[in-house]
A and B are shown apart, each in its own frame.
Chain A
Amino acid sequence: MIKEAQILAHHGKQYIPDLTRSQVPAPFRGRPVISSTDADTKALMELCPTGAISDNPVSINLGKCLFCGECEFAFPEKIRFTNSHIMATNDSKKLVVREGEEERILLVPDMIREDIKRLFTRSLKLRQISAGGDNSCELELVACGNPNFDMGRFGIEFVASPRHADGIVITGPITENMAEAVQICNAAVPSPKIVVLCGADAISGGIFTGSRALNRKFLQEVHIDLYVPGNPPHPLTFINGILELTRVKHLNKRLNFKD
């Protein structure tokens, strides 16, 4: 017993007290900032492995971006990745970061469905579906519940059965071989329910875009409530995204995110 107590004492307190204000140190690549300096945009677009960069104005689509940072290495004056991990949004248009935009990415409150405001503000149970995920997203989602991030403190948890869930979180580009299982699992979640896409692979197909082994039809049939960019998204990106989605009314004000 004494030994156990000692281990516990050495172990100390592991939890991060305020997740909304916690920072991830550089060189963590979070939300990018694009300056208005001149750059060879063609070369810039050509370089990106997923076609996340577009022209007029120069912009990066975080739903496609793998956060490889190569555009920053090649064009340091043009593109800079900040360590801001606040990147989740419910509006796919907000995933696009344009030249000169420095503001952090937010959810659009008006787009949050009434059901969410009515039912999920104090507790949210989620069923995770990996559909071609490379397991880094899955590991980070597990980490959301670990002693450091402890998402459970907000009543947000992953559950074993879709029957117990209020929504699904999809990782991976949705393979043909998983397409039906995704449908079945989503159908098994009682309504009202939410759908969250976690990671570039889920949002856009990521590096697997164009593969004939995918079947992303499911995404055309459902309303997406939250996009969580990243490769994989940092646990703080996920947790803060979910908090912002569900706590707006409850707290009656914006969460005090530190950027």
Chain B
Amino acid sequence: MTRKIENTLKIKNGQSVSLSEIPVLEYREFYAVVLRLLNAEDVHCVNYYAYPDNDNLKFICCLADDSAQSVSLLSHILPSGKGPGELESLTRRVGALHIFERELWENFGVKFEGHPWMKPVRFSHNRYNRIIAMHDYPFYRIKSEELHEVGVGPIHAGVIEPGYFRFTCNGEMVLHLEIQLGWQHRGVERLFLEKPKLLQRTMLAESITGDTTIGHTLAFAQVMEGLSGISTDSRLDAERSIALELERIAVHTGDISALCTDVAYQLGAAVFGALRTPIINFTQEWCGNRFGKGLIRTGGSHYSLTNVLIQKLRKLLDDFEWRFKEMADKAYSLLSVENRFDNIGMVTNKQARLIGAVGMAARTSGVKRDIRHSHPFAAFRVISYVPVMLEKGDVYARYYLRRLEIEESINYIRRILDNEQFFLSETTPPVPEANLHLYPSSITVSMVEGWRGEICHSAVTDEEGNIIHYKVKDPSMHNWKALELSLRGLEISDFPINNKSYNLSYCGHDL
């Protein structure tokens, strides 16, 4: 399965390999290989992290090749004897790597020479520099008598998570928006190591970000299954993909409602809002929780999608579909709505590539990134999914993409339900694993396309099979930059709709 080409090791999504198989390169060579690989349009970095390995700091870089459906792993080592060390920044050449290098600098003090934007990511509790705190965030400032700054947050005028926004404005026009995150930092990655039981870790995965419970817990389960050699049966795969698409339908519908609210379109706000409810209530009927907490477990499931539930689901989708269409035909043809969303918050194809946008933010700017398609997992391995693509990259595109993706997800769920291969037998999925023995000195990279975009979890084990590093990447890590950039040249009053059109995660970013 694994192939060594060009000093990298190629693996599949969710596959586990021995650490010793990953080539360790001199940084100079690492630098060159990363640049060469990322030169291809369909290769992007899904994770780049480091962990202490004896007296060294070992860096792992995961580059996903979307055409070859593989992930290239390569590494380099920095001896930590003489302080944290210094490396030449890759960000100067590949902007999308900025966030990974910032994280490495924050956590380990490694300096990346030439990095254009070296600032704290989240003020993690285990950061290298404990002297600086939330107050010390180095905002970009333009000294001018004509300009003014507006600060908002961390607590906002709504029932939402905290984040701090600073706008630098020239009159009404926003020249620059900078977002300071980290307020939600709970130390999740560290807790994956400190809480040893599988169930505790599953609970952590479920709590990374509640609106993506299915997405993150599935990414976690795939890591555990990869590291313990469990293969899932087709029924479990089918149930997981259905749960993931239901999560997407529910959140997208809620977001469309929220966008209608922000442009004062009452009918759309109320009807789309109410349409979300039966979807999450179905998830509750399936597993007892409206967000799907309890549903995704390693190696099995406690809650089978029974025939009774399948019938209910079919009926729900039929009902939802015409109601949604009726409302959407109206909401998507209203000139007043279109007028407000059009040309606002544009992200060009070039920008999306530059910042490494993923998920909706990529697909609305013509960048085809969708893990369901490029690195299929669960049922997507059997029934292929074709991503929905748009070009314009503005708020309207993100508003419209949600409608198209909802329609596509409904179709996809029906295709699973109609495919006899999945539900041939009456058998229920196996009981979840309670305890696992993980492969020693191994690594797994697991990716899932959540409703926001690409989720990537990765774990590393020691000689005894204990997890010594757990890395979570929420799609928001990349996409917050898109929100910042796409507000330039607009007004502060455009911020709410632009922000809503991305609906990025605070806790997923801050972990």
A residues contacting B by CB (< 8 A) are 3-4, 6-8, 10-11, 14, 24-29, 47, 49-50, 66-70, 73, 81, 128-143, 146-148, 158, 160-161, 172-173, 175-178, 180-181, 185, 201, 206-208, 210-214, 231-232, 234
**Residues on B with beta carbons closer than 8 Å to the beta carbon of A67:** 288-289, 293-294
Q: Nearest Cβ distance between residue B73 and chain A, in whole angstroms? A: 29
On whether the beta carbons of A146 and B186 are closer than 8 Å, the reply is no
Chain B residues, Cβ within 8 Å of A11: 270-271, 274, 323
B285 within 8 A of A: yes
Is there contact, CB below 8 Å, between A181 and B199?
Answer: no
Q: Roughly how many angstroms separate A14 CA and B330 CA in the complex, as a whole number?
A: 20
- CB neighbours of B207 from chain A (8 A): 134, 201, 206-208
The 7 nearest A-B residue pairs measured at CB: A136-B210, A213-B187, A160-B157, A27-B288, A213-B125, A134-B210, A211-B187
Q: 19 A-B pairs, CB-CB below 8 angstroms? A: A7-B267, A11-B270, A81-B288, A128-B159, A134-B208, A135-B161, A138-B159, A143-B277, A146-B274, A158-B159, A172-B186, A177-B184, A177-B185, A181-B183, A207-B204, A211-B125, A211-B191, A214-B186, A231-B289
User: Which residues of chain A come closer than 8 Å to B157, judged between CB atoms?
Assistant: 160-161
Contact B200 A49 (CB under 8 A): yes
With A7-B271, A49-B199, A136-B293 already in contact, the answer to whether A232 and B184 are too (CB < 8 A) is no
Residue of B nearest to A130 (CB): B161
Contact of A29 among B162, B200, B288 (CB under 8 A): B288
Asked if B302 is at the interface of the complex by the 8 Å CB criterion, the answer is: yes
Say yes or no: B203 contacts A66, CB within 8 Å: yes
One digit per residue, 1 when the CB lies within 8 angstroms of any chain A CB and 0 when it does not, for chain B 476-511 equals 000000000000000000000000000001110010
Closest chain B residue, CB of each to CB of A178: B183
Distance in angstroms from A81 CB to nearest chain B CB is 8
Residues on B with C-beta less than 8 A from A128 are 159
* A138 contacts across to B, CB distance below 8 A: 159-161, 210
Would you give the shortest CB distance from A209 to chain B, in whole angstroms?
9
Q: Known contacts A148-B274, A176-B125; is A70 also within 8 Å of B330 by CB?
A: no
Complex: A27 Cα to B282 Cα, angstroms = 11
**B186 near A135 (CB under 8 angstroms)?**
no
B159: contacting residue among A8, A142, A213, A231, CB under 8 A: A142
How many residues on chain B are close to A (CB under 8 Å)? 62
A131 and B288 contacting across the interface, CB-CB below 8 Å: no
Of the candidates B184, B197, B210, B289, which one forms a contact with A139 in the assembled complex, judged by CB atoms under 8 Å apart? B210
Using A8-B267, A175-B185, A213-B185 as known contacts, say yes or no to A136 and B155 having CB atoms under 8 A apart.
no
A-side contacts of B267, CB under 8 Å? 4, 7-8
A178/B203 in contact, CB under 8 A: no
**Chain B contacts for A213, CB-based, 8 A:** 124-125, 185-187, 190
Within 8 A of A (CB), among B99-125: 122-125
- A-B contacts besides A210-B191, A231-B293, 4 pairs, CB < 8 Å: A69-B294, A130-B159, A207-B191, A214-B187
Closest A residue to B154 by beta carbon equals A181
Known: A173-B186, A212-B187, A213-B186. A134 touches B507 (CB 8 A): yes
- Asked if A135 and B155 make an inter-chain contact with CB atoms under 8 angstroms apart, the answer reads no
Main secondary structure of the interface of B (DSSP, over half): loop
Answer whether residue B381 sits at the interface, using C-beta atoms and an 8 A cutoff: no
A109 to B14, CA, bound (A): 54
Q: Considering only CB atoms, which chain B residue lies closest to A158 in the complex?
A: B159
Q: Is the CB of A68 within 8 A of B330?
A: no
B3 on the A face (CB < 8 A): no
Q: Does B165 contact A (CB under 8 A)?
A: no
Residues A68 and B303 in contact, CB atoms below 8 Å apart: no
* Min CB–CB distance A184 → chain B (angstroms): 8
Minimum CB–CB distance from A158 to chain B (whole Å) comes to 5
Cβ of B132 under 8 Å from chain A: no
Q: Mark B204-223, 1 if CB is under 8 A from A, else 0.
A: 10011111010000000000
Residues A7 and B330 in contact, CB atoms below 8 Å apart:
yes
Can you list, as one digit per residue, whether each of B271-302 has a CB less than 8 Å from chain A (1) or not (0)? 10110010000001101111101100000001
B119 to chain A, nearest CB (A): 15
> In the complex the two chains form, is A135's CB within 8 Å of B203's CB?
no
Among A26, A29, A69, A133, which residue has its beta carbon within 8 angstroms of that of B161? A133
Q: Determine if B195 is an interface residue (Cβ-Cβ < 8 Å).
A: yes
Residue on B with the closest CB to A30? Answer: B288
- Chain A residue numbers with a CB within 8 Å of B202 are 49, 68
Residues of A within 8 A of B158 (CB): 158, 160
Residues in A with CB closer than 8 Å to B122 are 177
B510: chain A residues within 8 A (beta carbon):
177
**Alpha-carbon gap, A8 to B184, bound state (A):** 39
Q: How far is the CB of A190 from chain B (nearest CB, A)?
A: 17
Tell yes or no: B263 within 8 A of A by CB.
no
Q: How far is the CB of B434 from chain A (nearest CB, A)?
A: 8
> Across the interface, which residues of A come within 8 angstroms of B285, CB to CB?
25, 27
Name the distance in Å between A176's Cβ and chain B's nearest Cβ: 6
Q: Is the C-beta of B182 less than 8 angstroms from some C-beta in chain A?
A: yes
Determine if B41 is an interface residue (Cβ-Cβ < 8 Å): no
Known contacts A10-B326, A27-B303, A214-B186: does B273 contact A134 (CB below 8 Å)? Answer: no
Tell whether B386 is near chain A: CB-to-CB under 8 Å. Answer: no
Given A7-B326, A24-B284, A178:B184 Cβ within 8 A: yes
Of the candidates B126, B162, B287, which one forms a contact with A178 in the assembled complex, judged by CB atoms under 8 Å apart?
Answer: B162
Most buried by A among B184, B204, B510: B184
Q: Is the CB of B326 within 8 A of A49?
A: no
Query: For chain B residues 342-383, which have a beta carbon within 8 Å of chain A?
Result: none
A68 touches B274 (CB 8 A): no
Report A-chain residues with C-beta under 8 Å of the C-beta of B289: 28-29, 67, 231
A130 touches which one: B126, B184, B200, B271 (CB < 8 A)?
B184
What residues of A have a CB within 8 angstroms of the CB of B155 in the complex?
129, 181, 185
Residues of A within 8 A of B161 (CB): 130, 133, 135, 138
Q: Which residues of B contact A73 (CB under 8 A)?
A: 302
- How many angstroms between the C-alpha atoms of A79 and B505 in the bound complex? 35
Q: Is the CB of A27 within 8 A of B185?
A: no
> At the interface, yes or no: B194 with Cβ under 8 Å from chain A?
yes
B123 adjacent to A10 (CB under 8 Å): no
**How distant is the Cα of A69 from the Cα of B432 in the complex, in angstroms?**
13
Contacts of A70 in B (CB 8 A): 199
- Cβ of A141: which chain B residues have Cβ within 8 Å of it? 159
Once bound together, how far apart are the Cα atoms of A234 and B280, in whole Å?
Answer: 12
Kindly state the separation between the CA atoms of A180 and B188 in the bound complex, as whole angstroms. 21
- B327 contacts A by Cβ under 8 Å: yes
User: Which A residues are in CB contact (< 8 Å) with B330?
Assistant: 3-4, 7
